[in-house]
Amino acid sequence: MKTTPDILLINSYAPRQRVVSDAALENSLVILRTYLEYKGIHAEIVDDQRVTALEKGVPQWCLRLLKTMTRLLMKFYRVKPLAAGMLVAAWPLQAYALQCRREYLRNRRRQIAADVQARQIPIVGLKLWYGEAYTWGRELAAEIRQYSPETIIIAGGPQVKVYGDIVLSHTDFDLAIMGPGEEILEKLITLRRQTPSKSIFLQQVHAQWGGPLLKTGGFAGDHTEVVRGLAAQTIPNYYAADLDGKILFHTIVDGVGCSWNNCNFCSHTRCTVPFTPRPVEDIITEIKAMLQRGISFFRFSSSETPMVHGREIAEAILTHGLNIRFSMFVRAANVSAETLATYRLLIQAGLRAVFMGGETGHDGVNREIMNKGIERKDIINTIVTIRLASDAVRLPCRVGLSLIYPCPLPPGISMEEVFQANVTLIDEALPDTVIVNPPGPFPETNWYKDAAKFGFKFSEGAATFTQRFMEYEYSIYKPVEFWDDLGSSLNDMESKTVLKETGKLRAYVASLGIPTDISDEYLMMTEAIGLQSKLDLVRFKQKTLLDIISGSTDYTREITASINAASRRLARTYTR
């Protein structure tokens, strides 16, 4: 007989695969479960986001046919009339596959809601992602509310960190946690046990925390609390079932926040506490625990890992003789001999890829629009420094450069000038991949608060735009004609034109033979399985694209098997 958990933790997900790393290990839900179990609380996880589950609900004949048509489409996409004809021919099949997936996800929602009802689970925690995954989470909450009105539904995860209390409007979430959830969930579960009904419980929560949005950690602005939280950071205890159908790639908490924390567009600035490091010895303990489970690929979680902290971690990894591979977010900087020495150490310790937010190659735009606190020469010099460090230690380290284009413009600067500045930046820096993002005015950022000044307009008001933005399924693989209008404009360009302009820069990057939009963790893991040349990366990109567009997982499963074998191989070299 099944027992009733105190809390059911659920990962939300979209009907279609979006990026190949969708199925990375679910560290945050496992951290919650580990912490709560340690406190004597029974927590269970529902996480369907697995490589092996992405095809479920769609008939195999449909996937095979879609794959063949997509392959042909990718082969002939330059022959415009032919490509357009193929696109039209494939469209009913795409729509049918999507309908099958949506039906499958609807059934999963019903199963989960029925389970919550049958076992009378008192609290459900939903990890929310953007776009259709958010919609799925919202609809699941509605279904749970319908059949189990006494169950408390708590939202958390990336979507809450970006949108805050907006996720609570027009939804069935009772509460939202913005920030780390371990301690606050423990308190809420304890309080629920002591209160006779949901309404009394919610009254008490609102009285104690000032409303349904519960800010914690850096989002509550309490630096001391962040330091204490990081010193007590839970190491996730992955069970065998947590690893099943997953890529053995673990996001490790190395600290919280970013040392600059001032960019006008950045939603991370809602965490108001600037970068705070986690004690290095604890990071090492966690790495060792993961190695014992066969996990050797890591990404540091901080919005930016400052060089000083990175250096200390690298020294500790080398001292302990840990054979791992990792990637991290870095900021471009005014480089020095010390920067070079630090990158050398980091690469020796296993750094194989960095993600760098450059945003634009135009200094005026960077200064007045982005407030990035860096200049174009810093971006180029930092990339050159990483290349020099890599050559010096004869180990690779790939660089992913992210740009925002198009963007708001300072007076007297045209979009064409910004485009050209981006083009020459890419030409000079030659990163291994470029991630081109359209501009997004996220809540509470300066771009949002001062939208008119930055040239953003919302035809139906900011609130309606934000609601739509939360559920917007931005897919770079869809022709612009099929994108929905967002109800926003930038410099009088309507949203589809904005996305078209983004595509223009992406096309330029591709024309150089540089693959676009490969995440840093994949830059790192593909290197480890022997995909080392530029051509290998381009092929990797094409094959993953084929999977993502067609809905098949043939290549994703193949690549996951290779990565996991490499992870276990590396981990075996670890001796306690």
Binding-site ranges for ligand SF4 (CB under 6 A):
258, 260-263, 266, 268-269, 303-304, 331, 357
The one-character DSSP state at 93 is H
CB closer to ligand SF4 out of 329 and 574: 329
Q: Cα 263–267–268 angle (5° rounding)?
A: 80
Distance of closest approach, residue 358 Cβ to ligand SF4, in angstroms: 10
Backbone φ and ψ of 194, nearest 5°: -90, -10
Written as one letter, the residue type at 319 is T
C-alpha–C-alpha distance, residues 573 and 571, integer Å: 5
For residue 161, what is the enclosing H or E element?
A: helix 158-163
The single residue listed with the structure tokens 């078209």 is 500
Distance of closest approach, residue 382 Cβ to ligand SF4, in angstroms: 13
CB closer to ligand SF4 out of 425 and 548: 425
- Answer whether 546's CB lies under 8 Å from 552's CB: yes
CB closer to ligand SF4 out of 148 and 437: 437
Distance of closest approach, residue 264 Cβ to ligand SF4, in angstroms: 9
CB closer to ligand SF4 out of 275 and 555: 275
Backbone φ and ψ of 318, nearest 5°: -70, -40
CB closer to ligand SF4 out of 105 and 263: 263
For the chain, helix, strand, coil in percent to 5 are 55, 15, 35
Written as one letter, the residue type at 128 is L
Distance of closest approach, residue 547 Cβ to ligand SF4, in angstroms: 30
For residue 192, what is the enclosing H or E element?
A: helix 182-194
CB closer to ligand SF4 out of 263 and 571: 263
Distance of closest approach, residue 280 Cβ to ligand SF4, in angstroms: 21
Distance of closest approach, residue 269 Cβ to ligand SF4, in angstroms: 5
- Answer whether 254's CB lies under 8 Å from 305's CB: yes
- Answer whether 140's CB lies under 8 Å from 10's CB: yes
C-alpha–C-alpha distance, residues 550 and 72, integer Å: 11
Beta bridge partners of 178: 215
- Answer whether 263's CB lies under 8 Å from 212's CB: no
HSE-up of residue 377 (Cα within 13 Å, Cβ side) = 2
Distance of closest approach, residue 32 Cβ to ligand SF4, in angstroms: 24
Backbone φ and ψ of 2, nearest 5°: -75, 140
C-alpha–C-alpha distance, residues 438 and 495, integer Å: 9
CB closer to ligand SF4 out of 249 and 265: 265
The single residue listed with the structure tokens 């945003």 is 359
Distance of closest approach, residue 272 Cβ to ligand SF4, in angstroms: 11
HSE-up of residue 14 (Cα within 13 Å, Cβ side) = 19
* End-to-end Cα spacing for the chain: 39
Distance of closest approach, residue 353 Cβ to ligand SF4, in angstroms: 17
Distance of closest approach, residue 4 Cβ to ligand SF4, in angstroms: 41
CB closer to ligand SF4 out of 260 and 298: 260
Beta bridge partners of 401: 356, 434
Distance of closest approach, residue 396 Cβ to ligand SF4, in angstroms: 24
Count H helices, E strands: the chain? 21, 17
CB closer to ligand SF4 out of 130 and 260: 260
Beta bridge partners of 349: none
CB closer to ligand SF4 out of 256 and 290: 256
For residue 45, what is the enclosing H or E element?
A: strand 43-46
Q: How far is CA 533 from the centre of its chain?
A: 26
C-alpha–C-alpha distance, residues 196 and 219, integer Å: 31
CB closer to ligand SF4 out of 52 and 262: 262
CB closer to ligand SF4 out of 251 and 262: 262
CB closer to ligand SF4 out of 126 and 429: 429
Burial (CB < 10 A; 0-12, 13-18, 19+), residue 96, is middle
Distance of closest approach, residue 263 Cβ to ligand SF4, in angstroms: 3
Distance of closest approach, residue 253 Cβ to ligand SF4, in angstroms: 16
